Amino acid sequence: MKILLAVDGSGCSEAAARSFAARPWPEGSHVLIVSACEQAPIIAMPEVGGAPTDLYERLNDAARERATAAVEKARRLLGACPTPLTIDTRVIEGYAREVIIDESQRWGADLIVVGSHGYRGLARLWLGSVSQAVASHARCSVEIVRCRSGESDVS
């Protein structure tokens, strides 16, 4: 079985990784842990009094570091899984919903596991719902792990 575990470093993605690790999976299962690295938006700024010239690069480096830390933390959590797994990790540039859907199709995933922040109202409108987009557009099964109250903070 090929399972794509999508993580973002939040408490919700940690809850998804812990939920994943707590269950036995079919022997020979292969897990791909993916984190999207969203590029900082390019903002036109006047040169006088503008942001430092390397700001864009520093923001992108920080995003890559967060994504790398997220996949490594998930890899460690999966070490507690009762079933031996083949585990690979990838940090991919792009928007999370697109990265998860595209990578699951490219890799041939049988299942996607993703955490849900559970945003409601305006927060959901402004921030969107990656888990809803993945569930709506993925070509394979999707498991959405909800985190409990207080778990949604970035870890």
Q: What is the pLDDT of residue 154?
A: 42
For domain 2-45+53-146, which CATH number applies: 1.10.240.10, 3.40.630.30, 3.40.50.620, 3.30.70.20? 3.40.50.620
Q: Identity (one letter) of the amino acid at 76?
A: R
Q: Taking the model in full, what pTM does it have? A: 0.85
**Tell me: the pLDDT tens digits for 55-110?**
888 889 999 999 999 999 999 999 989 989 999 999 999 999 999 999 999 999 99
The proportion of the chain whose per-residue pLDDT surpasses 70, expressed as a percent, equals 80
Bridge-partner residues for 44, per DSSP? Answer: none
Distance CA 78, CA 76 (A): 5
Instruction: Report residue 125's pLDDT band, with 50, 70 and 90 as the boundaries.
Output: very low
pLDDT > 90? residue 48: no
3-state helix, strand, coil in the chain (%, to 5): 40, 25, 35
Long-range contacts of 85-89 (CB under 8 A, 24+ apart): 85/25, 85/29, 85/30, 85/31, 86/28, 86/29, 86/30, 86/31, 87/30, 87/31, 87/33, 88/30, 88/31, 88/32, 88/33, 89/32, 89/33, 89/34
- Dist. CA 155–CA 147, nearest whole Å: 13
Domain extents for the chain?
2-45+53-146
Phi-psi region of 104 (alpha: psi -120 to 50; beta: other; left: phi over 0): alpha
pLDDT given for residue 126 in this prediction: 45
pLDDT at 27 over 90: yes
Distance (Å, rounded) from C-alpha 32 to C-alpha 44? 37
pLDDT of 132: 87
CB atoms within 10 A of CB 95: 15
Query: How far is 130 from 154, CA to CA, in rounded Å?
Result: 16
The pLDDT, as a whole number, for residue 53 is 65
If residue 72 lies in a helix (H) or strand (E), which one and from where to where?
A: helix 55-77
Rounded distance between C-alpha atoms, residue 102 and residue 105, angstroms: 5
> 5-22: per-residue pLDDT in tens?
999 999 999 999 999 999
